[in-house]
Amino acid sequence: MRICSFLPSATEIVYALGLQDQLYGVTFECDYPPAARTKPIVVRSIFGETHLSSGDISQIIGQRLQEGLGIYDIDQTVLQEAVPDLLLTQAICEV
């Protein structure tokens, strides 16, 4: 099975279950266990390395959601190369 994790907590579970050899993609936030940092990054923040206030972030997220856009960028090339059988993700909570 080929797995891509869109959640840091799911990545940790994959490692805890000993399935790390089946993990072919993670998010930019996946840093535990440290070996997770060696996996290809499939999901990145739309904010990049910018330093925005929480108010600015809230406004941008609200606007993007209103426009039907996501708040993360999925690298389609990396995802296609991973050829996952399973995506581990969750819905965005209402804030």
SS3 labels along the chain: CCEEECCHHHHHHHHHCCCHHHEEEEECCCCCCHHHHHCCEEEEECCCCCCCCHHHHHHHHHHHHHCCCCCEEECHHHHHHHCCCEEECCCCCCC
- Give the pLDDT score at 70: 82
- Give the pLDDT score at 20: 97
- Give the pLDDT score at 65: 86
- Give the pLDDT score at 46: 85
Mean per-residue pLDDT pooled into runs of 10, the chain (95 residues): 96 98 96 97 84 87 88 92 95 65
- Give the pLDDT score at 95: 57
Rounded to an integer, what distance in angstroms lies between the CA atom of residue 43 and that of residue 21?
19
- Give the pLDDT score at 40: 97
Rounded to an integer, what distance in angstroms lies between the CA atom of residue 18 and that of residue 48?
31
Rounded to an integer, what distance in angstroms lies between the CA atom of residue 33 and that of residue 87?
19
- Give the pLDDT score at 92: 65
Rounded to an integer, what distance in angstroms lies between the CA atom of residue 43 and that of residue 29?
9
Query: What's the pTM value of the predicted model, to 2 decimals?
Result: 0.81
